[in-house]
Amino acid sequence: MEQEFWHQRWAENQIGFHRDSVHPMLMAYWSALNPRLDEEVLVPLCGKSIDLNWLAERHERVVGVELSDIAVRAFFSENLYTPQVYTAPSGHTHYCFDELELISGDFFTARLQPAPLIYDRAALVAMPPSMRQQYVDRVTSLLAPGGRMLLVTLFYPQSDDHPPFSMDEQLVRQTYQGMKVTLLDTCTEPCGERGEQVWLIQAAE
């Protein structure tokens, strides 16, 4: 989506995608990545997710990237953290507190190092079809050799062109062709037409 769309959503506090609790699929399936304490975690389009706290309790370094500075500042304010703040030559603002570093600005232009672990709960599904491949190319370029990503997607009968975008199993596998793609679990609502899926995406060694 256009950046202005997301800036407006955060400015108007229209953030129905934000969860007030740690995502259960993260807690249940993070271990499938065989993560180590010393492995860095990258979280694209992180918002103010408290999943960041959960990851920071288990890793020495967690880096989130978020377009909206409102979201980043809200994360630190709501968690009563006082970060160190600096602006990089790229124009991105970095907020650092203990294991956490949140980068405010465009994910596509942020200067990032490849990470062994990536967590995507709401990034891929936020991308319209016209931007999906650009996002996938970017995120897979940031997955270190042998790296692992935990991906959470949604599926439902979509009748509009607004996020979150529905991603069925075939589309996920097509989107990440060239990677090792493993479906870990599907959680379906009683109607059977809506639900979430959690995936393990692995890069070649």
What's the rounded mean pLDDT across residues 52-78? Answer: 95
pLDDT of residue 91: 92
13 pLDDT higher than 90: no
167 pLDDT higher than 60: yes
2 pLDDT higher than 80: no
Least reliable range by pLDDT among 10-24, 33-47, 132-146, 176-190: 10-24
How many domains, the chain?
1
Note whether residue 15 is domain-resident.
no
> Is 199 among the annotated ligand-binding positions?
no
pLDDT of residue 16: 57
pLDDT of residue 193: 84
> Is 66 among the annotated ligand-binding positions?
yes
The pair of three-digit structure tokens given for residue 30, joined into one six-digit string = 């993070």
Note whether residue 16 is domain-resident.
no
Residues in the chain: 205
Note whether residue 116 is domain-resident.
yes
> In which domain, by residue range, is 147 found?
3-8+22-202
Note whether residue 41 is domain-resident.
yes
Element (H, E) at 112: none
Residue 7: band (very low, low, confident or very high) from pLDDT cuts 50, 70, 90: low
CA dihedral 179, 182, 184, 185 (to 10 degrees): 100
Nearest to 36 by CA among 146, 151, 201: 146
Spacing of C-alpha 35 from chain mean position: 17
What 3-state DSSP class applies to 32?
Answer: helix
What's the rounded mean pLDDT across residues 7-17? Answer: 58
> How high is the mean pLDDT of the chain?
91
- Where residue 26 sits, what CATH number does that domain have? 3.40.50.150
Rounded to the nearest 5°, which phi and psi values hold at 120? Answer: -125, 105
Note whether residue 127 is domain-resident.
yes
Residue 15: band (very low, low, confident or very high) from pLDDT cuts 50, 70, 90: low
What b/e string do you get for 130-143 counting C-beta neighbours within 10 Å, with b at 16 or more?
A: eebeebbebbbebb
Note whether residue 190 is domain-resident.
yes
How many Å apart are CA 90 and CA 62, to the nearest integer? Answer: 20
199 pLDDT higher than 70: yes
> Is 54 among the annotated ligand-binding positions?
no
Note whether residue 14 is domain-resident.
no
> Is 10 among the annotated ligand-binding positions?
yes
The Cβ of residue 184 has, within 10 Å, a number of other Cβ atoms equal to 15
Predicted confidence (pLDDT) per residue in 83-130, tens digit: 999 999 989 999 999 999 999 999 999 999 999 999 999 899 999 999
How many Å apart are CA 117 and CA 35, to the nearest integer? Answer: 8
Residue 160: band (very low, low, confident or very high) from pLDDT cuts 50, 70, 90: confident
1 pLDDT higher than 90: no
